[in-house]
Amino acid sequence: MAYSILVVEDDAQIREVITDFFHGKSEGEIAVHTACDGDEGLELIYENQYDLVMLDVMMPGADGFTVCRELRKNSIVPVIFITARGREEDILYGYDMGCDDYIVKPFSLAELYAKTKALLKRSKGMVAGSEMVCGDITINPVRFIVTVGGREVDLPPKQYALLKYLIEHKGMVIDREQLLVRVWGYDFEGTDRVVDNHVKKLRNALGTAGNQIKTVVTKGYKIVE
């Protein structure tokens, strides 16, 4: 299967080494397109379909956080931040914007490639047309509809956002703090008990499909097929 990814990075050398490494490692399976700043990146995103987007944060024009925020308004395409900004608050803010991974420079090309491949495979298996599918659960992110085995389930906004985020990261263990940041927002001052309470309610609402949400002791939660 061929993939198309976009690298938005103002450092020409980084764009070149990623392009060359991915082309050689994937034997042409991954086509890498590039943009030198955030504004050009947004133009390409509006005009084309990509399977994954890599974003630097500090760029001329729109910064990476802004590009990701705009992208997330109508797309669930995987996003990886590649940036020198490694402070915890920056990382948490990146996840709050909707990224799937956050990699701090300097980075390993082999690690970046492995994470990219994993995200590409998961996202291709997750999306069927405009729908997100995980086992018996289907989400239509355009119409904000959740169905379980064909039966529509009415979820409150937070439970919907929680389920959507888990399915976007299907098979991955997501810790409570990350869920708090992504679903409740960076400035939320409550405790992680709110996550446990909403997961319990979400499981009940999903019926038998609620068993797809697994508790990982001392870690957090993950959703499986």
Task: Identify the CA nearest to 155 among candidates 165, 166, 146, 142.
Answer: 146
**116 Cβ neighbours under 8 A, 6+ residues apart:** 5, 22, 30, 52, 54, 80
Average pLDDT over residues 8-25: 94
The residue with tokens 């399976």 is 29
Q: Are the C-beta atoms of residues 3 and 29 closer than 8 Å to each other?
A: yes
What average pLDDT does the structure give for the chain?
A: 87
* Domains, the chain, with CATH or none: 3-126 (3.40.50.2300), 129-223 (1.10.10.10)
Angle formed by the axes of helices 12-26 and 109-126, nearest 10°? 60
201 has a pLDDT exceeding 90: yes
As to burial, measured by CB atoms within 10 angstroms (0-12 exposed, 13-18 middle, 19+ buried), residue 127 is middle
Q: Where are the alpha helices (DSSP H) in 127-212?
A: 157-168, 176-179, 193-206
* pLDDT for position 98: 82
Mean pLDDT of 28-51: 90
Provide mean pLDDT across the span 5-15. 95
Q: Are 140 and 130 in contact (CB under 8 A)?
A: yes
Q: Residue 152: pLDDT band by 50, 70, 90 thresholds?
A: very high
* Model pTM above 0.75: no
pLDDT beyond 90 at 168: no
CB 38 within 8 A of CB 8: yes
pLDDT tens-digit profile of 25-38? 998 889 999 999 99
- What mean pLDDT comes out for the span 175-181? 84
The percentage of residues in the chain with a pLDDT greater than 70, rounded to a whole number, is 93
- pLDDT top residue among 45 and 9: 9
For residue 7, what pLDDT band results from cuts at 50, 70 and 90?
A: very high
Peptide bond between residue 60 and the one before it cis (omega within 30 degrees of 0): no
Averaged pLDDT, 115-137: 77
d(CA 140, CA 47): 23
Q: pLDDT grade, residue 175 (50/70/90)?
A: confident
Query: What confidence score (pLDDT) does residue 137 get?
Result: 94
Bridge partners for 103 per DSSP: 82
For the ranges 91-95, 113-117, 190-194, the maximum mean pLDDT occurs at 113-117
Where is average pLDDT lowest: 77-91, 113-127, 164-178, 190-204? 113-127
- Which residues touch 105 (CB under 8 Å, ≥6 apart)? 82, 83, 84
